[in-house]
Amino acid sequence: MNRKIMAMMICLALVGMMGNAFAQQQAPVAGVTTKAIGVTADELVVVAKGWSAKNQIMGKDVYNDKNEKVGVVEDLIITPEKAVSYAIIGTGGFLGMDKHDVAIPVNHFKMLDGKVTLPGATKDAVKAMPAFKYAK
């Protein structure tokens, strides 16, 4: 259940940010209709109470079910259909050297006691996964 809730919260937050929800119709100017960028005051209240990927998951440590740190959430991958599908987890390295990033499906994670958890993972298992490289 926690996996579904976490994935749903991530999807809803990001789809809301990327969709048309922030555009509003503006009064015509010299006969030209344009869309304004931003939110209405009512929408701003809803946005402020929403879930933030930046504050709640990005840059957060990832733990296994034994409370051992196995990596850090570096990025979230959003499909062209605007669904969050993978989290990029960084492990190892020091000051960016020898760091190993991997892609892990978001439905593998759980939120336990406010921590991002990847049950059954170990640091060695994450390091052994194929490295994730961004497309150019």
Tell me the pLDDT tens digit for each residue of 68-103.
Answer: 999 999 999 888 887 788 999 998 766 656 788 999
Q: Say yes or no to pLDDT of 65 above 70.
A: yes
How does 102-120 read in b/e, with b if 16+ C-beta sit within 10 Å? bbbebeebbeeeeebbbee
Mean pLDDT of the chain: 77
Q: Map out the domains of the chain as residue ranges.
A: 2-48, 53-128
Neighbours of 56 (CB within 10 A): 16
Check: pTM over 0.85? Answer yes or no.
no
Q: What is the mean pLDDT of residues 28-56?
A: 74
What region, left, alpha or beta, does residue 12 occupy, with left being phi > 0 and alpha being psi -120 to 50 degrees?
alpha
pLDDT range class, residue 50, cuts 50, 70, 90? confident
53-128 classified as CATH 2.30.30.240? yes
